[in-house]
Structure 1
Amino acid sequence: MGARLILANKSDNSSIPTQGNLFLPEFDLPVVPADVWDKLARSEFRRQFHLTKVDRAYLQEKSLPIVLEHAADFIAKRLAPSHPVKDGRQTPWKGHPVFTAQHATGTCCRSCVEKWHHFVKGVPLTQQQQAYILAVIAGWLEREEQHPEQAEDEGQDIQRYFAQRKQKTRK
């Protein structure tokens, strides 16, 4: 499943996301291999994440291309550096559809990116790797849009997961 993101070309020939210009060219994002979705689906932790009703409304209001521009910015600033600030804690649990998507897809920190997508920690992410991560997030958001019945009240599933996990550790 590929996605398209509207990007602007800067004068130095690098592409950066911009919001609101409807006349920019579209670029294809890479296709995410099916085995990635299969592995994520087998993770009890990753399966717990679904967009909240508030996140769905935000996604509908702003549109997927705009939300993906936000995602590209988050990736560039919070994941792409070789040693991101607060790595392991840089992605909030809620507050933006992209944050939920990042936790659901193992793209929330460099350790998860290394575990799930095999991009080595300690090395800056290339433009191609950033585009791949963006494609993973886009694919997950598209899948969530297709299943509105999975909308959760604020973090209900993940709160339930942590409560169950806490009970298991007490036994």
Structure 2
Amino acid sequence: MHSYEEIAPRLAQSKFRSRFRLGRRELVCIAEKGFPVIEAQCREIIRRRLGPAVIPNDGRQTPWRGHPCFIAQHATGCCCRGCLRKWHGIPEGRALSDEEISAIAALLLGWIRAHAAGAGELPHTPDLF
């Protein structure tokens, strides 16, 4: 599996993948929780939603917003097992290994860091939650 820096040029060529951006709610989530918490949450999301060998709702299990991980999953081709196969060569029909889960989480965090850094500062917005 490639790092975000290695796959970013290929993702940028995809009109669909390159259109994803972190919204205000996701940026506030990052600012309030911090990257260590977001990373732990990404690992758990990947383990639970993509980790099993058979996923009953594969292709529809990743929401489009609500957590930085979800946006990053769509942006990096890590949203379903079909996209993991197409973009990262991880075959369907078998459980993800711990190493694969760690690599996917690192890829997502790379995307999140790159896109959060370019977003600038957020005003205090307690009314979002």
TM-score, length-normalised on structure 2?
A: 0.87
Once the 2 structures are TM-superposed, how far is the Cα of residue 31 of structure 1 from its aligned partner? 6.7
Q: Which has the higher contact order (CA 8 A, sep 6+)?
A: 2
Counterpart of 2:16 in 1: which secondary structure? Answer: helix
- The change in CA–CA distance for 1:101 and 1:33 in structure 2 (over 3 A counts) is closer
Match of 1:128 in 2: 99
Gaps of 5+ in 1: 1-29, 152-171
Asked whether 1:91 is paired with 2:62, we answer yes
Asked whether 1:65 is paired with 2:36, we answer yes
Match of 1:44 in 2: 15
Gaps of 5+ in 2: 123-129
Once the 2 structures are TM-superposed, how far is the Cα of residue 80 of structure 1 from its aligned partner? 0.9
Counterpart of 1:148 in 2: which secondary structure? Answer: coil
* RMSD of aligned residue pairs (Cα, Å): 1.7
8 Å CA contact 2:2, 2:88 repeated in 1: no
Counterpart of 1:93 in 2: which secondary structure? Answer: coil
- The change in CA–CA distance for 1:104 and 1:124 in structure 2 (over 3 A counts) is same
| 2: CA distance, partners of 1:135 / 1:105 | 11
Counterpart of 2:26 in 1: which secondary structure? Answer: helix
TM-score, length-normalised on structure 1?
A: 0.67
- The change in CA–CA distance for 1:101 and 1:72 in structure 2 (over 3 A counts) is same
1:37-87 Cα shifts (integer Å, max 9, x gaps): 111111100011000011101111000110111111111111011112311
| 1: CA distance, partners of 2:4 / 2:71 | 21
Corresponding letter in the other structure for 1:128:
E
Structure 2 residue corresponding to 1:77, chosen from 13, 30, 48? 48
8 Å CA contact 1:105, 1:137 repeated in 2: yes
Structure 1 or 2, whichever has the larger Rg, is 1
- The change in CA–CA distance for 1:33 and 1:102 in structure 2 (over 3 A counts) is closer
| 1: CA distance, partners of 2:4 / 2:63 | 26
- After TM superposition, the structure 1 = structure 2 runs for residues 1-171 of structure 1, keeping only pairs within 5 Å, are 32=3, 34-148=5-119
Q: Would you tell me which structure has more helix in proportion to its own residues? A: 2
Corresponding letter in the other structure for 1:60:
A
Alignment: residue pair count: 121
Q: Which runs of 4+ in 1 moved over 2 A?
A: none
Counterpart of 1:95 in 2: which secondary structure? Answer: coil
Q: Would you tell me which structure has more strand in proportion to its own residues? A: 1
